[in-house]
């Protein structure tokens, strides 16, 4: 990143601060109505236990009643199973997601099963 001479403890402190801010963002209350929600996933390769494995990164983007779009949720799990999608959608609801009238998605099998359940 073009920086030199930064100690490991400084890097660790910066990463901790970033992790806290991201956690706050991803767990913030969702107030108001969010009538339009886009759900999608992609697969990323990550290092786990010294191996490179694929994981599903799922995202929810919503538009509120004023038309403002915002990322309202992000999750990472082993795959797009119904269980993973169900937990993700329940977490959005628990944070206050309300007023949804239209969900746009690719109708993945796991997502369809989560929606039905």
Digit-coded pLDDT (tens) for 66-108? 999 999 999 999 988 899 999 999 999 999 998 899 999 887 7
- Integer Rg of the chain from CA: 17
Residue 97 to residues 43, 58, 84, 108, Cα–Cα distance (Å): 25, 16, 18, 21
Provide the pLDDT for residue 34.
94
What are the sequence ranges of the domains in the chain?
A: 30-116
Provide the pLDDT for residue 67.
92
Contacts of 81 (CB under 8 A, 6+ apart): 110
């Amino acid at each position: 990143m073009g920086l030199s001479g930064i100690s490991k403890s400084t890097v660790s402190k910066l990463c901790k601060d970033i992790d806290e801010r991201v956690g706050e963002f991803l767990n913030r209350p969702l107030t108001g109505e969010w009538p339009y929600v886009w759900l999608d996933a992609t697969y990323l390769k990550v290092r786990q236990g010294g191996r490179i494995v694929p994981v599903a990164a799922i995202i929810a983007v919503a538009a509120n009643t004023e038309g403002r779009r915002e990322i309202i949720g992000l999750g990472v799990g082993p795959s797009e199973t119904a269980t993973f999608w169900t937990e993700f959608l329940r977490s959005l609801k628990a944070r206050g997601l309300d007023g949804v009238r239209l969900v746009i998605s690719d109708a993945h099998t796991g997502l369809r099963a989560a929606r039905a359940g």
